[in-house]
Chain A
Amino acid sequence: MRWLRRNLVGIIGILVLVYLFVPIAVVIALSFNKPAGKFNISWNQFSADAWTNLCGVPGVCSSFVTSIQIGIISTLIATVMGTLIAFALVRYRFRGRSTTNLLIFLPMATPEVVMGSSLLALFLNLRFPLGAVTVAIAHIMFIISFVVVTVKARLQGMDPRLEEAARDLYASPRATFRYVTFPLVLPGIIGAALLGFSLSFDDFIISFFNAGTLVTFPIFIWGAAQRGIPPQVNALATIVFLAALAIVLIAQVVSYRRRRALQGA
């Protein structure tokens, strides 16, 4: 009993980790399964088929690539626009500034079903053909919100004296931006872009409304789920998971190395 009390925090911690990682472990494990029937839900027999033949199921790879492309393009556009908007909102006083500040939150606050269907209504009204462009437009919309909010917070948190110090040290407005303001805001921009990409890659509801005949990865999985998800989907999901893990680990290692190098100096 005493032992339990002393280790309670540790035990709960382990249970939470198990809770978080069991689904991922199942996904990875089932990517090596050879499904008995249509549904890849119970372990049958080990097989590396899904891995050696990643694109073996029609549509799985093309939808994956489509999602990556839309993710990259909408993230790029949204990050540039969102960063510019954030600078304008923080640095300039103009009419409608506070309204803009409020409106920028709207895409984050609106339920996805509402936003997806409204956009669809809009595109149909405009007779705009549904496809990659409409999906990208929809994604840019909600990514911008995240970028603006993140970059704005970063800018507002920045000591204004740093820019004054740069001006005092012979940096023109342009050099001040390039060598001081931008590098200081950059981590915020990168963070917002990574988040934006993962939101875009992951989005189902809004994409589904506005995709027309386009098939993104989430839409493919949804369609496949009706007939039985092929293990290739698990394999691709595993790749995405490992890529995300790698990014996190690299970021950790880089910052740890830098800290160690500096302390050792």
Chain B
Amino acid sequence: MGARPVEDLHLVSLTKAFGDMVAVDDLTLTIPAGSFFALLGASGCGKTTTLRMIAGLEDPTSGSIRIGEQDVTGLKAYRRPVNTVFQSYALFPHLDIFENVAFGLRRRRVKNIKPKVNAMLELVQLGPMARRKPSQLSGGQQQRVAVARALINEPDVLLLDEPLGALDLKLRRQMQIELKRIQTEVGTTFVHVTHDQEEAMTMADTVAVMNAGRIEQLGHPAEIYELPRSAFVANFLGQSNLIEGQRQDDGDMVTVVAHGVAFRLLRSRNAAAGGSVIVGVRPEKITVVDAADAARVPDGHNQVAGTVTDVSYSGVSTQYLIRARWGQELIVFEQNVIVGDRCDVGDEVVMHWAPEHSFGLDGSQDVYAGVEPAVLELEAAQ
């Protein structure tokens, strides 16, 4: 497979409006050949619309799509070297599994279809199911048929629209590994759409975080996670503590004062241009010590005193909610390395973290952007 040299996919100023509603807004993006690319965003942010434009099922309002040097913007869906795994699979109910998988080859009058289909069914481990109808397969099996049906055409780009959304958690984890294996084996460019940030991070080489029709940030999962450039990304990809403050002075380190506490962060990790800065830190970067042991906090660390309001133990780690003096609740994950010695609700503690773990965001943003609605409701109730 992949005898043809695979080519990069370029989206240039791609825009789609439905009446007044701009679903995809001036999207410019290059997806490298052979990469596993995840498009991550909340429901309704324009992910499906983007995929449909790439597949040719939706005409862009403006902008263009190129595969390598070839402009495919005006090309009909059935002429594009792109195939899709649909959100609901969309398997043909009147055809058996073999014919579903063979469909694309038959339409292109490819010779000697049988061994190809059988090999593909082997790849997705569905060999014995060839003569069954889609309705007789489990969700996970249907999902694999959908992948096989698209992949057998050796497309330049495979589009997957929330392919695992309909599966239960355990099967989803299993299929994530499976899809990753298949991608490595065939080397095709995968564009994988999902609203599950964990799925995006575990599977993809490159993650693009999408919000309201635009790409907020793009990069390697670890890169985005460690250094989010907007409040939306900080909250949507994992969780973050975001504290609003004002910039005080600049050296190698930027100092930001918030609620009377000074926080330091590396200049290179500050995305804010102006004086108002949001200081962010990931929950697992924070260490909690008893207030009595405050002297043990290393020099130069950022620190915040507070009261423990909630402890939830989950085996691998413990999650604390700690109320700072100014009333904001910060979230902290602590690995359960040391047995015993855990904090309890009501304990007075000091949280601290190294300045290089802070990041700075532009202060004009909503600190709750990208937080799950359910979490917001919970906080409002407290």
By a beta-carbon cutoff of 8 Å, the part of chain A in contact with chain B is 159, 161-162, 164-172, 175, 179-180, 183-184, 262-263, 265
Within 8 A of A (CB), among B45-62: 55-57
Q: Is the CB of A184 within 8 A of B93?
A: yes
For residue A183, which residues in chain B have a CB less than 8 angstroms away from its CB? Answer: 94
Residue in B94, B108, B129 with the greatest tally of chain A CB atoms within 10 Å: B94
Select which of B78, B88, B91, B128 is within 8 A of A170 by beta carbon. B78
Which of chain A's residues have a CB closer than 8 A to the CB of B76?
Answer: 167
Instruction: Report which residue of B83, B107, B129 has the largest number of chain A beta carbons within 10 angstroms of its beta carbon.
Output: B107
Q: Is residue B103 contacting chain A, with contact meaning CB distance below 8 A? A: yes
The docked-state distance in angstroms from the alpha carbon of A265 to that of B137 is 12
Q: Are A162 and B78 in contact (CB under 8 A)?
A: no
Residue of A nearest to B87 (CB): A161
Q: Which residues of B contact A (CB under 8 A)?
A: 55-57, 76-79, 82-84, 86, 88, 90-94, 103-104, 107-108, 128-129, 131-133, 136, 149-150, 153
Which A residues are CB-close (under 8 A) to B128?
Answer: 265
Interchain CB contact under 8 A, B77 and A167: yes
Contact B86 A169 (CB under 8 A): no
A159 touches B107 (CB 8 A): no
Max chain B C-beta neighbours (<10 A), residue from A168, A171, A184: A168
Q: Which residues of A contact B88 (CB under 8 A)?
A: 159, 161
Are B92 and A168 in contact, with the CB atoms below 8 A?
no
Distance from A34 Cβ to chain B, minimum over Cβ atoms (Å): 52
A165 to B52, CA, bound (A): 11
- Residue from A162, A164, A175, A265 within 8 A of B107 (CB atoms): A175
A179 to B82, alpha carbons, bound, how many Å? 20
A221 nearest CB across to chain B (Å): 41
Which A residues are CB-close (under 8 A) to B55?
Answer: 168
A161, A169, A171, A179: the one contacting B83 at CB < 8 Å is: A169
**Interchain CA distance A172-B131 in the complex, whole Å:** 26
Supposing A162-B92, A180-B92 touch, asked if A168 and B78 sit within 8 A by C-beta, the answer is yes
Are the C-beta atoms of B83 and A168 separated by less than 8 Å? yes
**Minimum C-beta distance from A154 to chain B (A):** 12
List residues of chain A with CB within 8 A of the CB of B108.
Answer: 170
Q: Is there contact, CB below 8 Å, between A167 and B132? A: no
- A180: B residues at CB distance < 8 A: 92
Alpha-carbon gap, A169 to B83, bound state (A): 7
Q: List 6 A-B contacts (CB under 8 A).
A: A159-B90, A162-B90, A165-B86, A167-B57, A171-B107, A263-B136
- Give bound CA distance, A168 to B149, whole Å: 11
Report if A169-B153 is in contact (Cβ < 8 Å); known contacts: A161-B86, A162-B90, A184-B93: yes
A165 lies within 8 A of B84 (CB): yes
A162 to B150, CA, bound (A): 13
Report the separation of the CA atoms of residues A184 and B131 in the bound assembly, to the nearest whole angstrom. Answer: 18
Cβ-closest chain A residue relative to B57: A164
Give complex CA distance A105, B57 in Å: 35
Question: Inside 8 A of A172's CB, which chain B residues have their CB?
Answer: 78, 107
* Set of chain A residues within 8 Å of B91, measured between Cβ atoms: 165
Contacts of A262 in B (CB 8 A): 131-133, 136
Q: CA–CA, A262 to B93, complex, Å?
A: 14
Report chain A residues within 8 Å CB of B57: 164, 167-168
Task: Give every chain A residue within 8 A of B107 (Cβ-Cβ).
Answer: 169-172, 175, 179
How close is A37's CB to chain B, nearest CB, in angstroms? 57
Which residues of A have CB within 8 Å of B132?
A: 262, 265
Provided the pairs A168-B78, A170-B78 are in contact, do residues A184 and B90 lie with their beta carbons within 8 angstroms? no
Min CB–CB distance B109 → chain A (angstroms): 10
- Taking CB atoms, residues of chain A closer than 8 Å to B82 are 168
Beyond A170-B78, A170-B107, A170-B108, is A165–B133 a contact (Cβ under 8 Å)?
no
Contacts of A162 in B (CB 8 A): 90, 92-93
Please, how many angstroms separate the alpha-carbon atoms of A166 and B104 in the complex? Answer: 8
Q: Which 6 A-B pairs have the closest CB atoms?
A: A169-B104, A161-B90, A170-B107, A165-B90, A167-B77, A168-B84
Query: Could you tell me if A171 and B78 are in contact, using CB atoms closer than 8 angstroms?
Result: yes
Smallest distance from the beta carbon of A195 to chain B beta carbons, Å? 22
Which residue on A lies nearest to B106, using beta carbons?
A179
Decide if B133 touches A184 in the complex (CB within 8 Å).
no
The answer on a CB contact under 8 Å between A168 and B94 is no
With A168-B57, A169-B83 known, 18 other A-B pairs at CB within 8 A are A161-B86, A164-B77, A166-B92, A167-B76, A167-B77, A168-B78, A168-B84, A168-B150, A169-B149, A170-B79, A175-B78, A179-B103, A180-B92, A183-B94, A262-B132, A262-B133, A262-B136, A265-B128
Q: CB-nearest residue of chain A relative to B108? A: A170
**Which B residues lie within 8 Å of A165 (CB)?**
84, 86, 90-92
**Chain A residues with CB under 8 A of B79:** 170
Shortest CB-to-CB span from B59 to chain A, Å, is 13
Name B130's closest neighbour in chain A (CB-CB). A265
User: In the complex, what distance in Å separates the CA atom of A184 from the CA atom of B95?
Assistant: 10
Chain A proximity of B85: nearest CB distance (Å): 10
B-chain residues with CB within 8 Å of residue A184 when the two chains form the complex = 93-94
CB distance from A198 to the nearest CB of B (A): 26
A165 vs B84: C-alpha distance when bound (angstroms): 8
Which chain B residue has the least Cβ–Cβ distance from A175?
A: B107
Residue of A nearest to B52 (CB): A164
| CB within 8 Å for A166 and B103 given contacts A159-B90, A161-B88 | yes
